[in-house]
Amino acid sequence: MRSWFPARPPGRGDGRMPAPSVPDGVCAYAIGDIHGERKLLDSMLAAIAGDAERRRGDGLGVVAVFLGDYIDRGMDSCGVLDRLCREPLPGVECHFLLGNHEAAMLDFIEDPVRASEWLNYGGAEALGSYGIRASVGTSDPSRCKALRDSLLERLPDEHLAFLKALKPMVVLGDYAFVHAGVRPGRPLARQRTDDLLTIREPFLSWLRPHEKMIVHGHTVTQSPEVTATRIGIDTGAYATGVLTALVLCGAGRSFIQVGA
């Protein structure tokens, strides 16, 4: 299943402020939380590749921003990282953001005892995708260290390099792309990484404009959520079977959705 549909008119385009836009000559795609769903990722990449070819034919440059949380929960974290590591959209400038789940995996690699909580919210499934059996609730120090050692033995170098290179934020024109959101009232240049990865409130209910229109994932909604200050596109791929991308061209917005 694939569907394309327009977003409702930009919340700022009400005569008081111009509608936010990406730079002239650019079409941007933002891809929501994938969470180990390799088949949905493959479908989304195919949909974007076809659309991007048409945009390039119109003389536009094409950019893709992946919003983080590539791993955990779903059953093929390894497959997702494998695809993202290897030029997922040829000819498209790709940016990959850090999600809280990638940060948790990196913390587990660094200190598996302190960061053992990762196993309880998707890490066990991620380890399983590398052929490592792990149980939710595991906290025994020796077992956690053994799991970390097994992961380092099986984790391809390119996967680890990919994880370590993830960015906290990307700005394009009037849009800022982050995983979870921003701390209201704090300049973008002074945002804390923890907020960018995990914030919900007061960000979700904030009504006053930020420096940029914020595009984010992290908080699951049944359909894409568009307000005057933010656009949320995490539609819970691992649970709903629906992965969402936002398409931005000039001041226009639309969505692509793929389903199982």
Residue partners of 197: CB distance under 8 A and separation at least 6: 68, 98, 99, 100, 103, 168, 179, 180, 218
Q: What is the pLDDT of residue 6?
A: 75
The H or E element that residue 56 is part of is helix 38-57
Query: What is the largest distance, in Å, between two alpha-carbon atoms of the chain?
Result: 62
First-last CA distance in the chain: 7
The pLDDT score that the predictor gives to residue 260 is 80
Does residue 101 fall inside a structural domain? no
Rounded Cα gap, residues 251 and 105, in angstroms: 37
pLDDT of residue 13: 45
User: What would the mean pLDDT of 215-238 be, rounded to a whole number?
Assistant: 98
In a domain, 21, yes or no: no
Q: What residues contact 91, with CB distance under 8 A and at least 6 apart?
A: 52, 56, 62
pLDDT at 227 over 60: yes
* pLDDT value, residue 16: 58
Q: Is residue 259 part of a domain?
A: no
Instruction: Determine the average pLDDT of the residues in 178-204.
Output: 99
**Looking at the domain assignment, is residue 200 inside a domain?**
yes
Tokens of 165: 């290179």
The Cα–Cα gap between 194 and 190 comes to: 12
Q: Is it the case that residue 142 has pLDDT exceeding 60?
A: yes
Q: What's the average model confidence in pLDDT over 18-22?
A: 94
Q: Are strands 213-216 and 230-232 parallel, antiparallel or unpaired?
A: parallel
pLDDT at 8: 61
Domain hosting 222: range is 168-233
Domain count, the chain: 1
Structure tokens at 218: 């992290």
Task: Tell me if 12 is assigned to some domain.
Answer: no
Q: Both tokens of residue 173?
A: 């024109």
pLDDT at 58: 95
Tell me if 219 sits within 8 A of 241, measured CB to CB: no
Residue appearing with tokens 């977003």: 7
Whether 65 is covered by a domain: the verdict is no
Question: pTM for the complete prediction?
Answer: 0.95
Q: Residues near 58 by Cβ (< 8 Å), separated by ≥ 6?
A: none
Residues 6+ apart with CB under 8 A from 128: 75, 134
The proportion of the chain whose per-residue pLDDT surpasses 70, expressed as a percent, equals 95
Place of tokens 């936010």: 20
For residue 215, tell me if it sits in a domain. Answer: yes
What is the arrangement of strands in the sheet containing 93-96, beginning at the earlier edge strand? 2-6, 252-259, 242-249, 26-31, 61-66, 93-96
How far is the C-alpha of 163 from the C-alpha of 207, rounded, in Å? 33
Question: Distance (Å, rounded) from C-alpha 129 to C-alpha 36?
Answer: 9
Pairing type for strands 225-226 and 230-232 reads: antiparallel
Q: Does 62 reside within a domain?
A: no
For residue 216, pLDDT over 60 is answered with yes
